[in-house]
Amino acid sequence: MLNAAEQFNALQAGGAAFLGTELAIMGGAMSWVSERHLVAAISNAGGFGVIACGAMTPALLEAEIAGTQALTDKPFGVNLITMHPELDALVQVCLRAKVGHVVLAGGIPPGPAVRAVKDGGAKLIAFAPALVLARRFVKSGVDALVIEGSEAGGHIGPVSLTVLAQEILPHIREVPVFVAGGLARGEAILGYLEMGASGAQLGTRFAASVESIAHANFKNAFIRANARDAIPSIQLDERFPVIPVRGLVNEGTKKFLVHQAETLAKFQAGELDKTAAQLSIEHFWAGALRRAVIEGDVEGGSVMAGQSVGMVNSIQTVSDILQELKAQAVAALIARAGQPAEMANAEGP
């Protein structure tokens, strides 16, 4: 009979083996946050760090990978945005550097990029927002999937992890599936592992860790925030789409609404054509994430955070976060095993 720790290890064994780690916990790729120091810290502590390439040039990514490799000899991955104009070159940078896992995010992975990653010997991970796409990606050769719910921080889809997990986990068994979005405790991770997930991805808790290079103001904003403070960006007019991004409400988010209203008024008055109005709305947040993360402007900048921010109560080391998550999952298994049989089998109200 396996003890609780062994049960937990058995549940996450497939994900851990795929990643080459002790724990099947990935770090979410967060622009300006998921750089060499945090990525190496996650990997060194038994998790799987992921570099956020974002808008980096191939030269910058090459330097970031080298910097990460200087800090850890453990496995880590690189997250590439599918719409990046130099995607093919970025893939080659990863392959030359012997990065073992490449994550393609932000859209459907292009065929040439998929083939290049596979031919180069790396494992390919993709985000699947629906079952039909999950099946399509598996057929195309993707080695693992991440299903991310709308509870997550940053760019989000419309569906919660609770729903995505029920839709996808029972039907995708060919490849590992990692769950993401709103996760902050080990009991929740355990529940998804028992549903069939292979592991989990967390971002918000790591963003507020000791090893994160984020400004102290940024981390302290997380500690002060409640779940209800992390909301998606609001769109005022369907003619001018706003990409949904979840972050903390601040003066910047309020000014964005005013900016949209003023831009709409100018469009309706004929002062701006549709293209100029759309660009004005899109450019409002240019550089705002960096202002918040690096410069500490948490009022005017974009403080991207998931709804799990309400469970960030202190600035912990990455190692402490990972060990706490495992301990919570193991404690839940122990508590369950200690329940009287009549309680375990009792029906709810």
Q: Are residues 296 and 326 in the same domain?
A: no
Cα–Cα dist 300/184, whole Å: 27
Q: Are residues 138 and 159 in the same domain?
A: yes
Q: Are residues 185 and 261 in the same domain?
A: no
Judge whether 166 lies within some domain: yes
pTM assigned to the model: 0.94
Q: Are residues 154 and 72 in the same domain?
A: yes
What residues have CB less than 8 Å from 254, skipping those under 6 apart? none
Judge whether 140 lies within some domain: yes
Q: Are residues 120 and 256 in the same domain?
A: no
Work out how many domains the chain is built from and give that number: 2
pLDDT value at position 1?
A: 81
Judge whether 14 lies within some domain: yes
Q: Are residues 10 and 75 in the same domain?
A: yes
pLDDT value at position 339?
A: 58
Judge whether 341 lies within some domain: no
Q: Are residues 107 and 173 in the same domain?
A: yes
> What does the pLDDT profile of the chain (349 residues) look like in tens digits?
889 999 999 999 999 999 999 999 999 999 999 999 999 999 999 999 999 999 999 999 999 999 999 999 999 999 999 999 999 999 999 999 999 999 999 999 999 999 999 999 999 999 999 999 999 999 999 999 999 999 999 999 999 999 999 999 999 999 999 999 999 999 999 999 999 999 999 999 999 999 999 999 999 999 999 999 999 999 999 999 999 999 999 999 999 999 999 999 999 999 999 999 999 999 999 999 999 999 999 999 999 999 999 999 999 999 999 999 999 999 999 999 885 444 434 444 3
CB < 8 Å & 24+ apart, contacts of 17-22: 18/123, 18/143, 18/144, 18/176, 18/198, 18/199, 19/48, 19/75, 19/101, 19/199, 20/48, 20/74, 20/75, 20/100, 21/46, 21/47, 21/48, 21/74, 21/75, 22/46, 22/47
Instruction: Give CA angle at 135 (131, 141), nearest 5°.
Output: 145
- Which range of residues forms the domain containing residue 281? 226-304
Judge whether 342 lies within some domain: no
Q: Are residues 322 and 277 in the same domain?
A: no
Q: Are residues 257 and 197 in the same domain?
A: no
Residues 216, 296: contact at Cβ < 8 Å? Answer: yes
Q: Are residues 157 and 268 in the same domain?
A: no
pLDDT value at position 338?
A: 83
Q: Are residues 265 and 136 in the same domain?
A: no
Judge whether 219 lies within some domain: no
Q: Is 202 exposed, middle or buried (0-12, 13-18, 19+ CB in 10 A)?
A: buried
Q: Are residues 324 and 268 in the same domain?
A: no
CATH number for the domain harbouring residue 177: 3.20.20.70
Judge whether 345 lies within some domain: no
What residues have CB less than 8 Å from 324, skipping those under 6 apart? 186, 316
Judge whether 39 lies within some domain: yes
